Amino acid sequence: MGDNLLGDRLMKSMQQKTLGAILLTVIACASCTDGPMERITAAGILSDVEALSADNMEGRAAGSPGAARAAAYIADRFEQTGLEPFGDSYLLPVELVGMTKNVEKSSVSITGPADELALENDVNFTFWSTAEKPVVDIADAPIVFVGYGVQAPEHDWDDLKDMDLRGKVLMFLNNDPHLEEDGEALFGGPARTYYGRWTYKFEQAEKLGAVGAIVIHTMESASYQFSVIGNTGSRRVWQRTYKLDFLSWMDSNTTSLVAASMGTTVPGLFEMANRRDFRPVDTGYSLAAHVETAIERVEGANVVGVLRGNDADLADEHLVFTAHYDHLGMNSDLEGDDKIFNGAADNALGVAGMLASAEAAVAAAPRRSMIFVAATAEEGGLLGSSGFVANPPVPLRQIVANFNIDSPQVFGLTHDIGAIGLEMSSLGALFAEVAAENGIKAVGDPNPNAGSFYRSDQVNFAKAGIPALYLQRGTDFVTPLSFDPDELRLRNYHQVTDEILPEWDLAGVERDIKIFVEAALRAANADDQPTWVQGHEFEGEWKALYTLSR
């Protein structure tokens, strides 16, 4: 819980830590110290973080009174900065549909050659419905193993082979195919593409007319433990981009029983699916379920302001900055006195960085217009940004790039700076160029198999064809730390302890935001709009959006 005394101590600590770094002017972004970049300061960023992560914001849960207070604060800051609203308000409504399964009244069974599977709710199997129906009943629906369930025309890859899968429950492998042809990796090689995201699997199930979907969890394919998603079915979930009667995750031990009945193992399922000639296979199992769901409709809001471009020929083109302002709210059932998920690093800090970016952009007066979006309901499934892309305040083809900030650096200056999506588009080249001019090494996703590009708000822009870049933390610290930054970050992630900490040193985020904004301004002032690299998975959407729509 933030307080002024802690803020004072933190500022003094930051000032002391920064004195030594002043001599390292290159590391501190030498080309970013004049003019508009002077608007980006650690002190200004800290001030906004203190306000947004304060207890009176009540954790900023989407649709809550605390989130409304946070939105009002951001709107005031937009107005002070000189951004204009679209219409008469900075708040653009987003309808959110929440669904909570009645655990006691809901049930599922899976039966087959090896009799009935021993399913333990939220232990080895978790299930829910997004059909927006109070009651769903499924009677003995066949379970069909569809491999990765991928249809990728750019790779001439189709796991489904025109099979009629209507009314079936589809069993998917997590991740995307891993194989090489002619010495080159298909898809992203070790880097997960959108085809490997579990959201894609559920979207596929709906598209194919299936009654439900089961995603197989393994540690290797997911990059996280089953416990991370294992209680999804017992939590409130928000409507995303798919409406299905039945959604679920199954752990690898339970999956091994299904695989054994098919004459193979869990690794064997992956081997089966890593072939072009794979065809869906009936597992011999069927699923019956009864799901009761409480449905609530909540109105949230994205906070949106625009800076009009100064070039008559380019002002109708817009770059969009995003940072989600929602967090996890409060939990009165927690032990101890602290019940508030303040969300200081995630993502009050990102919003503060975006507000500083807006101040610099206003001072820079770029050729293209720039839209700044504080998005709601990211924690519920990137819903605010999804709503913005679905209903933008300008025609979607007039949005040419997205720059996203989510949980940036808090532990000081680094010799490197990260950006997820670095190798995907011309935005990454601009970013690397600015970093190099300041003696900083630009690095990409440190864990590409985790698919981080698809787990924050920029992915909704990318799926529409819009090139996007996601600011990431560097790891090579100028001053060695006395603690493990990854351990400290993970310890506080999505916990009530995500607050302004004594370990924070915002000299790093100040420098990183300056580099990020300078790259964005170069994109805003360039003659040509940003593009994906040739052959990228969203290149087809880019062509459809900007070529076919004009």
pLDDT tens track for 126-141 = 999 999 999 999 999 9
Distances, alpha carbon 497 to alpha carbons 252, 260, 337, 479, in Å: 32, 44, 12, 25
- CA 195-196-198 angle, 5° bins: 105
pLDDT digits (tens, 9 = 90+) for 10-32: 444 444 444 444 434 446 665 56
Q: Which amino acid is it at 408? A: P
Return contacts of 176-181, CB within 8 angstroms, 24+ apart.
176/148, 176/150, 177/147, 177/148, 177/150, 177/273, 177/274, 178/270, 178/274, 179/274, 179/275
State the Cα–Cα distance between residues 83 and 185, nearest whole angstrom.
45
Distances, alpha carbon 520 to alpha carbons 167, 367, 420, in Å: 47, 12, 15
| pLDDT > 70: percent of the chain | 93
Tokens linked to 190 = 């070790």
pLDDT of residue 351: 98
For residue 447, is pLDDT > 50?
yes
| pLDDT > 90: percent of the chain | 79
For residue 209, is pLDDT > 90?
yes
pLDDT of residue 2: 42
Domain boundaries along the sequence of the chain: 4-84+308-548, 100-295
Task: Report whether the peptide linkage leading into residue 347 is cis, meaning its omega lies within 30 degrees of zero.
Answer: yes
pLDDT of residue 549: 53
Mean pLDDT of all residues in 415-424: 96
pLDDT of residue 44: 98
pLDDT of residue 28: 64
3-state per-residue secondary structure call for 67-112 = HHHHHHHHHHHHHHHCCECECCECEEEEEEEEEEECCCCCEEEEEE
Return contacts of 136-139, CB within 8 angstroms, 24+ apart.
136/245, 136/246, 136/289, 136/290, 136/291, 136/293, 137/289, 137/290, 137/291, 138/169, 138/211, 138/212, 138/245, 138/246, 138/287, 138/288, 138/289, 138/290, 139/288
pLDDT of residue 184: 82
pLDDT of residue 334: 84
Query: Are the CB atoms for 249 and 229 separated by under 8 Å?
Result: yes
Across 158-162, 252-256, 383-387, 453-457, least confident range:
453-457
For residue 440, is pLDDT > 60?
yes
pLDDT of residue 278: 97
Query: Are the CB atoms for 69 and 56 separated by under 8 Å?
Result: yes
Q: Look at 331 and 70; give whichever has higher pLDDT.
A: 70
State the Cα–Cα distance between residues 502 and 480, nearest whole angstrom.
16
For residue 5, is pLDDT > 70?
no
pLDDT of residue 451: 76
Tokens linked to 225 = 């433990």
Q: Look at 227 and 347; give whichever has higher pLDDT.
A: 347
Q: Which amino acid is it at 397? A: R
pLDDT of residue 116: 95
CATH number of 4-84+308-548: 3.40.630.10
34 falls in which pLDDT band (50, 70, 90)?
low
Q: At a CB cut-off of 8 Å and minimum separation 6, what does 269 contact?
A: 145, 147, 173, 216, 255, 259, 262
Tokens linked to 116 = 């009935």
pLDDT of residue 18: 41
For residue 8, is pLDDT > 70?
no
Q: Look at 437 and 237; give whichever has higher pLDDT.
A: 437
Torsion 155-160-162-166 (CA) sign: negative
What architecture is domain 100-295?
A: 3-Layer(bba) Sandwich (3.50)
